[in-house]
Amino acid sequence: MTRKRIAIWLGITLIGMGILIARLAQLQLIETKSFSKHDINLLEESAARRMQEIVIDNGRGNFMDRSGKPLSYETVPVLILFPFLEKTDWPAEKVAEAIGISESELRHTIGKSDKPVVLGGKDPYVLTEKQMEKVNKLEIPGVISMKRKYTPSPLYAGQLLGLTSSNAQVLKEKYKEKEFPAGTLVGISGLQKSFDEFLLGEGKSRLVYHVDGRGGPLFGIDVKYSEPANPFYPVNIVTTIDSRFQRLAEQQADKHGINKGGVVLLDIETNNILAMVSRPKVNRQSPFADQGSQNMMLKQQIPGSVFKTVVAAAALDKGQLEGRLFDCSKKINGSPDKKYDHGTLDFNKSFARSCNRTFADLAKELQKEDPRTLEEYAKKLSLTGTVGWEGGLFHTENFRQLPDEDKGRVFLSEQAKEDPNYAGLSGIGQHEVRVTPVSVANMMAVIARGGDKQMVRAVTSIQYKNGSKMAGFQSKKLDGGTISPLTAEKLQFLLRQVVTDELGTGQWFKDLPMTVAGKSGTAETGVYKGKKQLHNKWFAGYFPYENPRYALVAVNLGVSEDEGGVNLLFSDLVKGIGKIEKKE
């Protein structure tokens, strides 16, 4: 019995040792880089426990404005204090004097932290470059002052630039077998998403200090600076944004209480986005908690009377409008319009005063002649499909700069397209008509250029770290037909009449420092807050009228009919742009 028991215990011991050896092999030889269902990198985790580090730059590429100024980051002087200082005799009083705080406050800041402490970058500690130089002249091990990269506050053009996430699963799905360091950021929206492959970091820039199990120095008290060896990375994405105009647009959107909506400003000559503002703002702590993560300027919206520009273009080409009069005392269904009784108007006056009856009737006539007409002219004016730059980029055939951009549309079904009542509603920008604000801005630019239809650019080039160009994005024509120069000239006149006519809907802009041409719009959304229906309020135009340089759209979404207008916003933007130009 004794021998049998010994054999059993020996067998159990051998099995246990086998399991232990197998487990050790799994940990140290087989799954060292991808342990468990969570894909834990054991080598990195082990190294992390033996060092204290502070990341100076995460290594991801950056976004610049059109003049080369940083958009996605700012570098700020900071003071970095390593925990081992508490175990050494260091001249804290000299450091405190250099940065202008008390010695006790400085020592309290370090406390019993087991991680490097950062002072500066944010209130209440704001360091200057002179203070940074004073600290570094002291040459105290574990006390380092340098510039560190931060996300700027406020971050302008947040939705256009987009969001990132340190989601290992997304990285794995997107880049298959390629390996990345733990914590690598991946773009999930905006330009961060479309240019992600170029922006991915080659590694972090960091300060590293090695410690033993009790936090003491392992290789002496020197702090090492570590950065990727590749001199070409990280890259810079040079956007078309003008920081001056972007700052103006952000401030004015907030001043005028835009809670949902925004602004698009295009350079008419280049068709570049100079400014793009979307509200609600991004909540960076919880970006998907509300609509702040969406760029409203790239999403389908109900345009209302802005769409009458399309009907006008088609009617000018196909209709006999000279000498014709329209009954603008009635609604589109023929009943008396007690709220907007404009009497009898000709075509030009109908456009200036935005008469629904005129454009509903014209849309029905166009539909009767050819059900495809409204869609045809919406496409000619860039309102359907997408307008963002797309084309070949290295191995990608259909690279899109604006990956989150919706397609515009006029009808959802063939049945709606052939129904005269639906055509009438579509003619005034209601029913199933949906457009993006960026496409409306592009429509104004197309008209101002005399029918020249181009793609909208948000980025002009990708540059290596040393400033040399990796890739460029040349201007490109937008596919599909366009309006003739003669039709564009007639539309220019109509859009100017909106401002100059004594009862035009754009009278607000008569006395601005730059002459404006444009079209207003108020769309019923079918959504109610209490008993009040909510509306989308627009003004889209270009300026100066005689020598067009800017196309501008301001839109306030989901507001009551008696509040939330955008005329003052549009007006203040034009004035602000004029002031910025004078400073050049």
Cα separation, 495 vs 144, in Å, equals 61
* Cα torsion angle, 493, 496, 502, 505, sign: positive
Q: Which residue has the tokens 């990345």?
A: 180
51 band by pLDDT with thresholds 50, 70 and 90:
low
* Cα torsion angle, 553, 559, 560, 564, sign: negative
Q: What share of the chain has pLDDT > 70, as a percent?
A: 90
Cα separation, 331 vs 135, in Å, equals 75
Cα separation, 78 vs 86, in Å, equals 20
Cα separation, 289 vs 245, in Å, equals 29
Residues 7-31: tens digit of each pLDDT:
777 778 777 777 777 666 655 655 5
Q: Which residue has the higher pLDDT, 19 or 115?
A: 115
C-alpha distance from residue 280 to each of 260, 538, 555 (Å): 5, 17, 13
Q: Which of 362, 354, 329, 323 is nearest to 344 (CA)?
A: 329
Residue 535 identity: H
pLDDT at 219: 43
Cα separation, 186 vs 188, in Å, equals 6
Task: Evaluate if residue 45 carries a pLDDT over 70.
Answer: no
Q: Which of 236, 234, 156, 192 is nearest to 461 (CA)?
A: 236
Judge residue 578's burial from the number of C-beta atoms within 10 Å of its C-beta, 0-12 exposed, 13-18 middle, 19 or more buried. middle
Average pLDDT over residues 119-148: 86
pLDDT at 331: 92
Distance from the first to the final alpha carbon of the chain = 101
If DSSP codes are grouped into helix, strand and coil, which group holds residue 95?
helix
Cis amide leading into 154 (omega within 30):
yes
Cα separation, 116 vs 207, in Å, equals 9
Cα separation, 364 vs 423, in Å, equals 5
63 band by pLDDT with thresholds 50, 70 and 90:
very high
pLDDT at 47: 46
Cα separation, 387 vs 406, in Å, equals 9
Contact, 253 vs 154, CB < 8 A?
no
CB-CB neighbours of 321 under 10 Å: 16
Residues 351-391: tens digit of each pLDDT:
999 999 999 999 999 999 999 999 999 999 999 999 999 99
Average pLDDT over residues 147-162: 91
Q: DSSP characters for 486-545?
A: HHHHHHHHHHHHHHHSTT-TTGGGTTSSS--EEEEEEEEEEEEETTEEEEEEEEEEEE-S
Angle (nearest 5°) at CA 342 between 337 and 345: 125
pLDDT at 30: 59
pLDDT at 181: 76
46 band by pLDDT with thresholds 50, 70 and 90:
very low
Task: Evaluate if residue 49 carries a pLDDT over 60.
Answer: no
Contact, 54 vs 81, CB < 8 A?
no
| 192: β partners | none
Question: Which H/E stretch holds residue 463?
Answer: strand 459-463
Lowest mean pLDDT among 1-10, 314-323, 521-530: 1-10
pLDDT at 33: 53
Contact, 336 vs 382, CB < 8 A?
no
Average pLDDT over residues 112-122: 79
Residues 489-511: tens digit of each pLDDT:
999 999 999 999 999 999 989 99
**Mean pLDDT rounded to a whole number for the chain:** 88
44 band by pLDDT with thresholds 50, 70 and 90:
very low
Average pLDDT over residues 95-114: 85
Cα separation, 469 vs 398, in Å, equals 21
Backbone phi, then psi, for 558, in 5-degree steps?
65, 50
pLDDT at 42: 45
Q: Which two tokens stand for residue 107?
A: 């020592």
Residue of 145, 194, 278, 305 with catalytic role? 305
Q: Which of 508, 389, 498 is nearest to 444 (CA)?
A: 498
Task: Evaluate if residue 322 carries a pLDDT over 90.
Answer: no
pTM confidence score: 0.88
Rg (CA), the chain: 31
Q: What share of the chain has pLDDT > 90, as a percent?
A: 61
Residues 6 or more apart whose Cβ sits within 8 Å of residue 149: 56, 57, 58, 73, 74, 75
Task: Evaluate if residue 213 carries a pLDDT over 80.
Answer: no
Task: Evaluate if residue 316 carries a pLDDT over 70.
Answer: yes
CB-CB neighbours of 38 under 10 Å: 8
Q: Which domains are present in the chain?
A: 46-73+152-238 (3.90.1310), 76-150 (3.90.1310.10), 243-583 (3.40.710.10)
pLDDT at 377: 98
Task: Evaluate if residue 154 carries a pLDDT over 50.
Answer: yes
Angle (nearest 5°) at CA 393 between 390 and 395: 125
* Cα torsion angle, 569, 570, 573, 574, sign: negative
Q: Is 346 left (phi over 0), alpha (psi -120 to 50) or beta?
A: beta
Angle (nearest 5°) at CA 328 between 337 and 534: 50
Task: Evaluate if residue 223 carries a pLDDT over 70.
Answer: no
| 205: β partners | 57
Residues 518-576: tens digit of each pLDDT:
999 999 999 999 889 999 999 999 999 999 999 999 999 999 998 989 999 999 999 99
* Cα torsion angle, 21, 24, 29, 34, sign: positive
Average pLDDT over residues 396-400: 91
If DSSP codes are grouped into helix, strand and coil, which group holds residue 13?
helix
Active site residue 382: no
Task: Evaluate if residue 133 carries a pLDDT over 90.
Answer: yes
Relative to beta strand 62-64, strand 236-239 is parallel
Average pLDDT over residues 203-211: 70
